[in-house]
Homo-oligomer: A and B are copies of this chain.
């Protein structure tokens, strides 16, 4: 839908006022979901696929560095964490890699997770597990996704017993350049698997699909994620705001 058509059919509101309501409608407050403690030197790791990667540089891969973080939600959430917890001085890494499915996280887990010894580990993975199967590049099913994801987290807990987990809901926006309605039904079980695993590991849940569904009341899907998978700057900020609210209780 074109912006002008959208504006004609949607209630016109000032999103500056309305956007906090996106989050109040979609992200549980910290009273229901206890915010994680970020203390002196807490190490935080963002893991995932291209949405987390967002074009980050992969030679130096520095923590707390704008030059290494890419242009996505991980940069936005990490910058906010580094400002808001300046006195505590957390150490934050982004190790998302474009195209990754859950088994590809496992393949590089020693270097890109265990060696970094995160206190808080945030994972957003799943859209490629469905997408690459859909387009014939991969033969994994949702059962494989769920099994691989559970094994990855079981192994992680075994090696890092104190790690706090944040599981982000994989999401899609239909009516976009890559995603149509035919994605919804087959993708839902992947989202359900992620949520089930989140419960099993007592992880913080970040309900990105719910957040974007609310956001569609204020601007069309193309505004938030032109291809339905990769967020725009606006979509990335919305994700960072949802992440911050779910994990720390801070509104950004």
A237 lies within 8 A of B89 (CB)? no
Task: Give the CA-CA distance A93 to B172 in the complex, in Å.
Answer: 27
CB neighbours (8 Å) of A3 from chain B are 89
- Whether, in the assembled complex, A130 has its beta carbon less than 8 Å from a beta carbon of chain B, the answer is no
Number of interface residues of A (CB under 8 A): 51
A109: min CB distance to chain B, Å: 25
Task: Give the CA-CA distance A14 to B84 in the complex, in Å.
Answer: 8
CB neighbours (8 Å) of A219 from chain B are 86-87, 89
Task: Give the CA-CA distance A85 to B64 in the complex, in Å.
Answer: 28
B7 lies within 8 A of A64 (CB)? no
Chain B residue nearest in CB terms to A231: B66
A22: min CB distance to chain B, Å: 9
Chain B residue nearest in CB terms to A14: B87
The residue that A238 contacts in the complex, of B19, B65, B83, B238, with Cβ under 8 A, is B83
CB neighbours (8 Å) of A16 from chain B are 84-85, 248, 250
CB neighbours (8 Å) of A250 from chain B are 16
A83 lies within 8 A of B248 (CB)? no
A232 lies within 8 A of B82 (CB)? yes
Known: A79-B76, A218-B86. A66 touches B15 (CB 8 A): no
- Whether, in the assembled complex, A243 has its beta carbon less than 8 Å from a beta carbon of chain B, the answer is no
Stretch of A67-75, A155-163, A182-190, A191-199 contacting B (4+ beta carbons < 8 Å): A67-75
CB neighbours (8 Å) of A71 from chain B are 65-67, 69-71, 75
- Whether, in the assembled complex, A45 has its beta carbon less than 8 Å from a beta carbon of chain B, the answer is no
- Whether, in the assembled complex, A113 has its beta carbon less than 8 Å from a beta carbon of chain B, the answer is no
CB neighbours (8 Å) of A114 from chain B are none
Contacting residues of chain A (37-96) with chain B, CB-CB under 8 angstroms: 40, 54-55, 64-67, 69-72, 75-76, 78-80, 82-89
- Whether, in the assembled complex, A204 has its beta carbon less than 8 Å from a beta carbon of chain B, the answer is no
Known: A69-B71, A75-B75. A19 touches B233 (CB 8 A): no
In the complex, 10 of the A-B residue pairs with CB atoms within 8 angstroms, ordered by the A residue number, are A12-B87, A15-B83, A55-B67, A65-B71, A70-B71, A75-B75, A79-B240, A86-B234, A89-B223, A252-B252
